[in-house]
Structure formats: C-alpha cells, structure tokens
Homo-oligomer: A and B are copies of this chain.
Amino acid sequence: MTRKKVKLEWITNDNARRVSLKKRRLGLSKKMNELSTLCGVNACAIIYGPNEIELTVWPSHDVVQQQLTHFQSLSELE
C-alpha cells in the first residue's frame, strides 16, 4: 500500500505474504490498543493462518478466554 497501490486480494508471493502478515498483525495490535484505551472499550482478536501453528491472540490468551466466555453467555441470552 505504499510504493505501489496494493490490490485487495491474496498475495501469491510466499515471502511477501508472510512479511505482510507480520507487519499487519503488528499494526492491527496497535489499532486495537488505541481503540480500547481511547474509547474505553474491551476488545479482543484471534488471528490464525492455514497452519494452526501461527495462532495469534490479542491482547493475551487469558483475556481472550475470559472475553469469549462473556461473549458466549451473552449469545445464549438472544
């Protein structure tokens, strides 16, 4: 998205894709962090690649677990 406008589609080049994932994950974390502090909300994210090894949670495994439980109890009410 910068030296060249990027198309919103799967990056075929393996290396480029991995680099992009790494960078964007970082950027996303930053944004999540900003959102939650600036606006005083709870937020969590789960990201995982095709190979289940690349699992990333934000802000932390524990918090995610907690919020999932909360979310699911809300879901049941509907």
Tell me the A42-57 residues at the B interface (CB within 8 Å): 42-50, 52, 54-55, 57
Copies of this chain held together in the complex: 2
A28: nearest chain-B partner, CB-CB: B31
Contact A38 B54 (CB under 8 A): no
Q: In the complex, are the beta carbons of B45 and A74 less than 8 A apart?
A: no
Interface range on chain A: under 10, 10 to 19, 20 to 34, or 35 or more?
A: 35 or more
Secondary structure of the A contact surface, majority rule: helix
- CB neighbours (8 Å) of A21 from chain B are 35, 38-39, 41
Chain B residues contacting A61 (CB-CB under 8 Å) are 75
Chain B residue numbers with a CB within 8 Å of A43 are: 45-48
Indicate if the CB atoms of A39 and B55 lie closer than 8 Å: no
